[in-house]
Amino acid sequence: RSVEEFNKGHVENAINIPYMFKTEEGRVINPDFVSQVEAICKSEDHLIVACNSGGRSSRACVDLHKSGFQNIVNMGGGYSAWVDAGFVGDNPAQHLKTACKFRL
């Protein structure tokens, strides 16, 4: 999620590494995204990747998988679905755990 989106609200204890940046030309992929993730996560770590609605995070998951990360989950529906489901904090709903499975 963008810094602005993240600052409006996020899952407790989440770490934000934007996959894309907003520019005058539109959104562009963060060229350092994978290296920024690698700086704080190991390839065997279990990661839940989220954006606002699920599209950007799905693309981020593909890039992470190509870079060797194997335990990746895309939060289906993103943070918006989390909020719409009435959840706050760091307790994922059981149905979100199921809906978030990332498949290649």
Summarize pLDDT for 25-72 with one digit per residue, the tens.
Answer: 999 999 999 999 999 999 999 999 999 998 999 999 999 999 999 999
Is 51 a known active-site residue? Answer: yes
pLDDT for 88? 67
pLDDT for 97? 47
Tokens of 39: 């700086």
Q: How confident is the model at residue 24 (pLDDT cuts 50, 70, 90)?
A: very high
Residue 4, pLDDT > 70, answer yes
pLDDT for 54? 87
Taking the model in full, what pTM does it have?
0.79
Q: Return the CATH fold of 3-99.
A: Oxidized Rhodanese; domain 1 (3.40.250)
Pairing mode of beta strands 47-49, 26-29:
unpaired
pLDDT tens string 61-96: 999 999 999 999 999 898 888 888 887 654 444 444
CA-based nearest residue to 71, from 33, 37, 20, 30: 37
Q: Which residues of 29-66 are buried (b: 16+ CB within 10 A; e: fewer)?
A: ebeebbeebeeebeeeeebbbbbbbbebbbbbbebbee
- Given the residues 41, 51, 61, 100, the one annotated as active site: 51
Beta strand spans in 50-89 (E): 72-74
Domain layout of the chain by residue ranges? 3-99
